[in-house]
Amino acid sequence: MASSYHGEPQEEEDTFEYHIQDDFDASILTPAQLVMLYELQKEYPGSAKTSLARRIRLELIKDRAELEGREVTKYEFNVAYDLKEVMDWAPPLQLEDL
């Protein structure tokens, strides 16, 4: 006797996008970093704001370390990645103009 299995009607398939919760607090970014965030969102529309903000901050500390002729420290990396405090830095040439 042949029987066929007809399971429950399948609900709409869950995708990874449904499980992403981006509890991003934009107050940890400076106005210039917010502009960069919105530009990156246009370029990478599927990316979470948290990931893009980390990318901005990591580039910031890399630029700073490079200009100072040193490597990025583990502490700097952790602060940039944690997104718990404002992180800003202006190159010395920009400070001279103030």
d(CA 79, CA 88): 12
Say what the pTM is. Answer: 0.61
**Within a domain: residue 55?**
yes
Question: How do residues 16-41 score in pLDDT, each as one tens digit?
Answer: 444 445 567 778 888 888 899 999 99
> How many separate domains does the chain show?
1
pLDDT at 29: 84
**Within a domain: residue 76?**
yes
Most distant pair of Cα atoms in the chain: their distance? 88
Question: How do residues 63-78 score in pLDDT, each as one tens digit?
Answer: 888 988 999 999 988 9
**What domain range is 74 assigned to?**
26-84
d(CA 30, CA 22): 19
- The values of phi and psi at residue 27, to 5°, are -70, -10
**Within a domain: residue 51?**
yes
**Within a domain: residue 92?**
no
Does residue 65 contact residue 76 with C-beta atoms inside 8 Å?
Answer: yes
**Within a domain: residue 89?**
no
